[in-house]
Amino acid sequence: MDFIFMLTRNDSTIEDAGQLVDAVCDLGVRHIGFKDIGVPRATMQELVTRIRQRGGVCYLEVVSTTPQAVIQSLEAARTLGVDRILGGTDLDGARRILGDLSDYFPFPGRPVGHPTRLEGSSALIADHCALACAVGCGGVDLLAYRATQAEPLDLVRAARQALSEGKLIVAGSVNSERQIHALAQAGADAFTIGSAVFDGSFSPAKGSLRGQILDILEACDKAPKMAS
């Protein structure tokens, strides 16, 4: 299971994000992302360039809250040339802007507010996952631990079943080894963590970014296989 390190806190890209790319790559992180808010476009472009220089895979997660803002964020992602685009729910708009959707991972369910919460039942999540696959998306970006109307792991299992071969990324409020292992057993392919690194809540006994990152990578290495 892949760990996607988000250069974000409270659903916004941190101002000194560029200073951390080398440090986390040196620790073995290869999947690195940021949000579409918090820093100017020039800083985002610098992040993309630096992540690419270090051989990483670059992600942008769309957390804009209005339809027009989401469209603008998708256009920005295309211009920036990121490797993977996460978030948003407008599949028709994404297809118009991106064309090929194989590197696009929309939100299933009904994301609301900022920081984003997730409304919707397991059945709705499954329906949205099936639709994403049908139109050619690479998978989905599921805000499982932000759910307000269902149990997080029920949503993960529903998404996994509906996605077939599509990738299942779980984003938002992942902050413990227990959650990582539960996600692996439920069928997640990847997860994002940002805030839990910067506020030290993943490993409360360790104060450094290095300690947090290494513990997350160790949790990935120890993660069990998907339950049959």
Whether 125 is in a domain gets the answer yes
Whether 226 is in a domain gets the answer no
Read off the pLDDT of each residue in 9-17 and give the average, rounded to a whole number.
92
- pLDDT more than 90, % of the chain: 88
Cis ω on the peptide bond leading into residue 152 (within 30° of 0)?
no
User: Within the chain, where are the H helices?
Assistant: 21-26, 41-53, 67-80, 91-98, 122-134, 152-163, 177-186, 195-198, 209-221
Domain span at 115: 2-221
CA-wise closest residue to 47 among 75, 66, 24, 63: 24
Rg (CA), the chain: 16
Whether 228 is in a domain gets the answer no
Model confidence pLDDT, tens digit, residues 83-118: 999 999 999 999 999 999 999 999 999 999 877 899
Name residues whose C-beta falls within 8 Å of residue 141's C-beta, 6 or more positions apart in sequence: 61, 86, 87, 105, 106, 107, 169, 171
Instruction: List the CATH number of the domain containing 136.
Output: 3.20.20.70
Whether 136 is in a domain gets the answer yes
Whether 146 is in a domain gets the answer yes
| DSSP state, residue 32 | E
Read off the pLDDT of each residue in 138-163 and give the average, rounded to a whole number.
97
Whether 21 is in a domain gets the answer yes
Name residues whose C-beta falls within 8 Å of residue 43's C-beta, 6 or more positions apart in sequence: 13, 15, 17, 18
Half-sphere exposure of 72 (CA within 13 A, CB side): 10
Helix (H) or strand (E) holding 9: strand 8-9
Read off the pLDDT of each residue in 4-15 and give the average, rounded to a whole number.
93
pLDDT, mean over the chain: 95
Give the model's pLDDT for residue 5: 98
Residue 228 binned pLDDT confidence (cut-offs 50, 70, 90)? low
Whether 12 is in a domain gets the answer yes
The total number of structural domains in the chain stands at 1
> Is residue 223 scored above 80 in pLDDT?
yes
Whether 227 is in a domain gets the answer no
